[in-house]
Structure 1
Amino acid sequence: MRVFTRLALLSAILLPLPLPVLAQDTAPTVGALDAAKVPVVMARAVDEFIRPGYRRFTDRAGAMQTAMTTLCGSPSAESLKEAQSTFGHVVEAWSRVEIVRVGPVIEGNRFERILFFPDRKGTGLKQVQAALAKPDPSVTSVETLKGKSVAMQGLGALEFVLFGTGSGSLATAEGAYRCQYGTAISANLKRLGAELTAAWDAPDGVQAAWKTPGPANPLYRDEAEAAKELLGVLVHAAETIRDQRIEQFYKGDPKKALPRQAIYWRSGNTFRSITANIEGLRDLLDTSGMVDLLAEDNRSVVSSTDFVARSLSRVSADIKPDVAQVFEDPAQIAKLDFLLLNSRDLILRLNNDLGGGIGLAAGFSFSDGD
């Protein structure tokens, strides 16, 4: 009976969606890239998504540092609650822009310094726990913390400080050292965000490379390479949502689910982050105007792709924050099944349909590094 119940609930969720949401086996129509429009699309991606995204993250990290400073100066249940709430805002801001895994963020291990995930062997967690178990002045200053293991200086470490074992001490004077560590992490996140903002704001830096593909460009020798980079960001984002965010803890069998392997499970931000990932993907696809790279008769590819992404976002936002509780409710499990099914379709639409539509060969795979 339980199997039939789950299938019925999954069907109930799927009913409002038209058949195209399901994975398509037909080969996409291969188009020809309109090279003249690529620089405009790349400029929109930079100026309307990437730069504002990093500025938003930097601002939220600054607010996090302020909240931690307040908590350390006046420890209480109220100030702890405010700091924990602010952490959720930082996670959301980062999750929207983390889909951009190219450029300055992959230099100097910035991405891992901001978010070290997944921590498959628990190495990072052990390092954070060790730092909290025995006071170490070097983790309470951003200048020394930034030289530590990447797992000790980002969002995962801050989540454990605020929500992990012993976090209740932050509401009292006994949590002073733990609070100082959290403040240093927040300051480090703000520092990293500022570096990324500065790198993308520099007119002769990476933004110039994105906006002016050509023979003299060190990154993109022509418009096709630039378009491929932008499409690759979208495809890899969709793959990460499925492979590292959902399948990290659930692959379709509730009995084998690993809720404590989910990102941000301690703070209840798992699905808030996944939803922000999806919304970031939608925002980049829309604001960049990639639809302009498609022939008039093939532009429905973008609207249908956005429909799938919007449906995923809607369902993800409606899942309980406590990952463990999700597996106690058949209706919630059905929503996870929906995410698994349709996240695969999103990847195919971006990789095959959109990729083919702007001139890449059908079956092109960014995962293979082609």
Structure 2
Amino acid sequence: MRLGLFLPISLLCITIAAGPAAAQEGGAPMLSALDKTALPGVMAKAVDGFIIPGYRNLSRATASLAATSAALCAEPSEAALQASRSAFAEVVQTWSQIEIIRLGPALEQNRFERFLFYPDRKSTGLKQVQAILAKSDESATDVERLRAKSVAVQGLGALEYVLHGKGADGLAGKGAGFRCRYGHAIAGNLEAIAGELRAAWEKPDGIQAAWKAPGPDNPLFRDNKEAATELLGVLIHSVEMVKDQRLRTFYAGTISGKPGKDNPKLAIYWRSNQTMPSISANFRGLQTFFETSGMQQLLPADSRSIAASVKFLLKTLTSAADRIDGPIDAALGDDERRAVLGFIALNTADLLDRLNRDFGGAIGLGAGFSFADGD
């Protein structure tokens, strides 16, 4: 990898981000009004073009994972183990695109935390998973009984440890029956949750109906401003999540290049080397959500440049994340890849400001309003 490929892009990102902000005098938001006629169509395209297809993809990926884990348990082999690990990676990347929809059905019945318990700062979940494996707790091999246990032992983090943690290579042999059955139960649980999420959004008179028709009788969005706030909030809270919960947990670098203390083992999916593929998928999901929904249509004509720069930043961040492969501790120890991480951190913060201040301000949500602070 050549660092020179990134420096001009970084400067270009900074220049683009500074453009519309410079048009604001004294920090006052650029004024414009939300295009209310465009909003219902944008909301509908977000549902039909991104959310429902995203959950359908997740449902297919988890079904494949459940099938490969069943095959591994039936006939253990190195090939079967690698197939299960590949299916796990596919679920991680599929989930990482749709996990930006952290609302509605995803929050009901703790579905989000049951699918992915992260961050696990005190290793509480890890200890619980290790205890299940040490005790060969058979109740964890039944999907229904597993669902009643801690959220930390039934999702992607738990399955990653089963497939990639200490002792995981034994899954290729005949002596790993319990570990494999536990992993298969987790896969079945993930498939069930994905199916529930898909069904909730596919229901014609359910949440999709509320998204498509804001109004005084709508249980979620009484007016267009509330609907626009939710729509833009998906982007802002997701970018904030990547910045604070994904990058900052393991990368301690600064823009000046003076690193603090890195924590590679706090990185999400570090055991399976899916840290950066998942972050890339987060950015790709945001890019697809933004473009598929046609959010630029909410902007007045004189502010459309904001949408162009948001698209550019998302595409550039996705490409940058794709260039960091392998173990995350190795990337942190490599000057060139570390510089790319710094580039991603810098421009993720820039993107957050672009969405929160510039886009929000342009559609009338900027004055005294901060998505990032939850106001």
**1:20 matched to which residue of 2?**
16
Aligned to 1:367: 372
Alignment check: 8 A CA contact 1:22 1:342 kept: no
- The answer on whether the counterparts of 2:3 and 2:336 sit within 8 Å (CA) in structure 1 is no
Contact 2:14 2:350 in 1 (8 A): no
Q: In the alignment, which residue of structure 2 is the partner of 1:198?
A: 199
| Matching residue of 2:353 | 348
TM-score when normalising by structure 1: 0.95
Preserved contact between residue 17 and residue 354 of structure 2 (Cα < 8 Å): no
Task: Give, as a single letter, the amino acid of the residue that structure 2 aligns with 1:150.
Answer: V
Unaligned runs of 5+ in 1: 1-5
How do residues 316-335 of structure 1 correspond to structure 2 at under 5 angstroms?
A: 316-335=321-340
The alignment partner of 1:179 has SS state of helix
- Find the residue that maps to 1:161 and give its secondary structure: helix
Q: After superposition, what is the alpha-carbon deviation per residue over 1:1-35, rounded to whole angstroms, capped at 9, x for unaligned? A: xxxxx998973663565622469753352210121
Tell me how far 1:368 sits from its aligned partner: 2.4
Which one is further off, 331-340 or 251-260?
Answer: 251-260
The aligned counterpart of 1:37 is 38
1:145-160 equivalences in 2 (<5 Å): 145-160=146-161
**In the alignment, structure 1 residue 79 sits paired with structure 2 residue 75:** no
Residues 85-132 of structure 1 deviation map (CA, whole Å, 9 limit, x = unaligned) = 111100000000001111110111100000000001100000000001
Q: 1:65-144 maps to which residues of 2 (within 5 A)?
A: 65-144=66-145
- Offset from partner CA, 1:162-196 (integer Å, 9 cap, x none): 00000011001111110000000000001000001
Q: Which amino acid aligns with 1:361?
A: G
CA contact 1:254–1:333 (8 Å) conserved in 2: no
* Counterpart for residue 289 of structure 1: 294
| Counterpart Cα distance in 1 of 2:45 and 2:364 | 20
Partners of 1:259 and 1:23 lie apart in 2 by: 35
Q: CA deviation at 1:298?
A: 1.2
Q: Deviations over 1:15-71 (max 9, x none)?
A: 565622469753352210121211111011011101111111111000000000010
Cα gap change, 1:280 to 1:350, in 2 (>3 Å): same
CA contact (8 A) 1:24 1:345 kept: no
- Could you give the per-residue CA deviations for residues 132-161 of structure 1, whole angstroms, max 9, x where no partner exists? 111111110101100000000000000000
**Higher alpha-carbon deviation: 260-269 or 346-355:** 346-355
Following superposition, the deviation at residue 363 of structure 1 comes to 5.8
* Structure 2: gaps (5+ residues): none
Number of residues of Structure 1 aligned to a counterpart in Structure 2? 365
Aligned-partner Cα distance in 1 for 2:304–2:197: 33
Task: Quote the residue 1:208 is aligned against.
Answer: 209
**TM-score w.r.t. length of structure 2:** 0.93
In the alignment, the residues of structure 2 paired with residue 350 and residue 113 of structure 1 have an alpha-carbon distance, to the nearest angstrom, of: 29
**How much does 1:295 deviate?**
1.0
Q: Measure, in 2, the Cα distance between the counterparts of 1:78 and 1:163.
A: 15
Contact 2:358 2:366 in 1 (8 A): no
1:271 maps to what in 2?
Answer: 276
- Kindly indicate whether the alpha-carbon contact (under 8 Å) linking 1:254 and 1:327 is maintained by their aligned counterparts in 2: no
Aligned pair partner of 2:341 in 317, 336, 340: 336
Query: Considering only aligned residues, what root-mean-square deviation do their CA atoms show, in Å?
Result: 1.8
CA distance in 1, matches of 2:360, 2:118: 28
**8 Å contact 1:23–1:345 — kept in the other structure?**
no
- Residue identity over aligned pairs, in percent, reads 50
Supply the AA of the counterpart residue of 1:265.
W
The separation in 1 between residues aligned to 2:339 and 2:368, in whole angstroms, is 30
Aligned mates of 2:307, 2:369 — CA distance in 1: 18
Kept after mapping to 2: 8 A contact 1:21/1:342: no
Q: Which letter maps to 2:113?
A: E
Q: Secondary structure of 1:229's partner?
A: helix
- Structure 1: distance between partners of 2:362 and 2:20: 15
Q: Is the 8 A contact 2:43 2:293 kept in 1?
A: yes
Are the equivalent residues in 2 in contact too, given 1:355–1:361 (CA < 8 A)? yes
